[in-house]
């Protein structure tokens, strides 16, 4: 199974921004990165009136859109799939999966915390948090706390927490 790290935090904490910075650092170190974003409700995936949208509206259970550059899949599901189900069914040829959300799953987590928006972090009450990333200095007894700007340090902790083999092609 591909190693999974979940980036968690309350709404507007900066999860997506952190992921945008983590991806290039992992790539620089030689990893192929896949991402999964959890959404609490249904979401638009296809443009109304386009062929694939029309296929889905006609009743297709699964629609795949393919081009020489990428593919997309729209499939009905019977329940909110777990990270393990998503990884095993849909993600192939990746060295690491960075998930946004899924805070109730058992995978290791990095929490993004912004004191200006929320009074206290989810950690240490949240299980399997290996680090907290904050834009304000923060100290927790058993969990390392890093600045949102310390991308290299955050990736170092994730590599250690997931027991990844460093693939840095520069050294």
pLDDT at 148: 95
Residue 64 lies in a domain: no
- Asked if 134 and 114 count as a contact pair (C-beta separation under 8 A), the reply is yes
Containing domain of residue 128, as a range?
A: 4-41+79-161
Residue 133 lies in a domain: yes
Residue 70 lies in a domain: no
Return the HEC string of 82-138: CHHHHHHHHCCCCCEEEEECCCCCCCCEEEEECCCCCCCCCCCCCCCEEEEEECCCC
Residue 58 lies in a domain: no
Residue 52 lies in a domain: no
Higher pLDDT, residue 49 or 134: 134
Residue 9 lies in a domain: yes
Note if the pTM is more than 0.85. yes
pLDDT at 157: 97
- Asked if 168 and 30 count as a contact pair (C-beta separation under 8 A), the reply is yes
Residue 13 lies in a domain: yes
Q: 18: helix, coil or strand?
A: helix
Indicate the helix (H) or strand (E) that contains 64.
Answer: strand 62-66
**Per-residue pLDDT reduced to its tens digit, 61-83:** 888 888 888 888 888 889 989 99
pLDDT (mean) for 157-168: 83
pLDDT at 166: 59
Indicate the helix (H) or strand (E) that contains 36.
Answer: strand 33-37
**Per-residue pLDDT reduced to its tens digit, 96-131:** 999 999 999 999 999 999 988 888 999 988 999 999
pLDDT confidence bin for 57, thresholds 50/70/90: confident
Can you say whether the dihedral through the CA atoms of 122, 84, 150, 165 is positive or negative? Answer: positive
What CATH number does the domain containing 34 carry? 3.40.50.300
Number of structural domains (the chain) is 1
Q: Which of 79, 74, 76, 78 has the alpha carbon at shortest distance from 46? A: 74
% of the chain beyond a pLDDT of 70: 92
């Amino acid at each position: 199974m591909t190693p999974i790290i979940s980036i968690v935090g309350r709404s507007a904490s900066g999860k997506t921004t952190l992921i945008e910075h983590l991806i290039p650092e992992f790539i620089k170190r030689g990893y192929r990165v896949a991402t999964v974003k959890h959404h609490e409700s249904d979401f638009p995936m296809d443009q109304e009136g386009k062929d694939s949208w029309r296929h889905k509206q006609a009743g297709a259970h699964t629609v795949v859109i393919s081009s020489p550059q990428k593919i997309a899949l729209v499939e009905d599901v019977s329940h909110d799939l777990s990270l393990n189900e998503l990884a095993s069914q849909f993600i192939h040829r990746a060295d690491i999966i960075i998930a946004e959300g899924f805070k109730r799953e058992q995978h290791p987590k990095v929490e993004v915390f912004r004191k200006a928006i929320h009074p206290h972090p989810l950690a240490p009450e949240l299980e399997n948090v290996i680090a907290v990333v904050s834009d304000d200095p923060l100290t927790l007894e058993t969990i390392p706390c890093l600045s949102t700007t310390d991308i290299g340090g955050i990736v170092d902790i994730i590599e250690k927490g997931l027991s990844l083999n460093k693939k840095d092609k520069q050294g």
